[in-house]
């Protein structure tokens, strides 16, 4: 018998869920991680589309004194930032995500 995992709906997401997903990916969540996760999540909830990395970086840098770049994201989310951010945020992968 195969048991399928029920996917989280966007309204079922919470920080405990995010921490578990991150932990399984070997990521220890910090304030920098949460800033990105909440931005991606809020973007999705507002526009009903996951933010591509380029838009995510531009928007975060617009609001933040300390700028981040794609290398910063790779350090925070080492195994494909787009997918890891989406998973931890409980949102779909961006359309152009490989």
Residues belonging to the active site: 97
**How far is Cα 72 from Cα 33, in angstroms, rounded to an integer?**
11
Per DSSP, 74 falls in state H
* Beta-strand runs (E) in 1-98: none
Angle between helix axes 31-47 and 53-63 (nearest 10 degrees) is 110
Q: Please, which residues have CB within 8 angstroms of residue 54's CB and are 6 or more apart in sequence?
A: none
């Amino acid at each position: 018998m195969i048991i399928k995992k029920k996917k989280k709906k966007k309204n079922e997401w919470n920080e405990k869920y995010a921490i578990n997903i991150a932990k399984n990916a070997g990521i220890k969540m910090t304030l920098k991680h949460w800033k990105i996760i909440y931005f991606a999540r809020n973007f999705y909830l507002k526009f009903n589309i996951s933010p591509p990395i380029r838009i995510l970086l531009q928007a975060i840098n617009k609001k933040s004194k300390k700028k981040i770049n794609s290398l910063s994201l790779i350090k925070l989310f080492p195994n494909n930032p787009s997918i890891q951010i989406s998973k931890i945020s409980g949102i779909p992968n961006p359309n152009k995500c490989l």
